[in-house]
């Protein structure tokens, strides 16, 4: 039951974040570029693809055959977000995350880093849970074959 709740929370966060980024493409490009990790053109490419990757990860968590891939995407994206945000903080950049469009413009980078650490634990738990489920399934199939 707890994994169902975690799956709902994580997938909902990634799907909503992706949809909000799609809704405001200009803000998404600006949010990506403000981290000063890539050129404007590269930020545009990332801003155009990132929302779809987030949505794919969130949806994948619900599809049994794609669950490991969805959990892996969400885990990888969370690591990427933490690295980018941490890099901005270390370099003294005053960035707003841009994770949820204009609704999180007031959230400090340090608060968002803390939230992302919690999300990292949740995504890691989903990923690990799925690995264990697949191993158990493979072991069962091997024993019954």
Give residue 109's pLDDT band: very low, low, confident or very high (50, 70, 90): confident
CB proximity list for 144: less than 8 A, separation 6 or greater? none
What span, in angstroms and rounded, lies between the C-alpha atoms of 42 and 108?
25
The average pLDDT across 28-57 equals 94
Of these ranges, 66-70, 86-90, 107-111, the one predicted with the greatest mean pLDDT is 66-70
Domain ranges of the chain: 2-144
pLDDT value of position 81: 93
Q: Answer yes or no: pTM beyond 0.95.
A: no
């Amino acid at each position: 039951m707890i994994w169902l709740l975690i799956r709902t929370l994580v997938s909902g966060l990634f799907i909503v974040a992706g949809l909000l980024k799609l809704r405001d493409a200009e803000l998404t490009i600006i949010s990506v570029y403000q981290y000063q990790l890539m050129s404007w053109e590269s930020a545009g490419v990332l801003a155009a693809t990132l929302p779809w990757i987030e949505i794919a990860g969130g949806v994948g968590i619900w599809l049994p055959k794609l669950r490991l891939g969805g959990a892996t995407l969400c885990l990888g994206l969370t690591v990427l977000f933490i690295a980018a945000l941490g890099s901005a903080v270390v370099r003294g950049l005053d960035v707003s995350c841009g994770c949820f469009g204009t609704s999180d413009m007031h959230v400090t980078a340090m608060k968002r880093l803390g939230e992302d650490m919690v999300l990292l634990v949740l995504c890691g738990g989903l990923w690990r849970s799925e690995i264990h489920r697949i191993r158990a399934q493979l072991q069962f199939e091997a024993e019954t074959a």
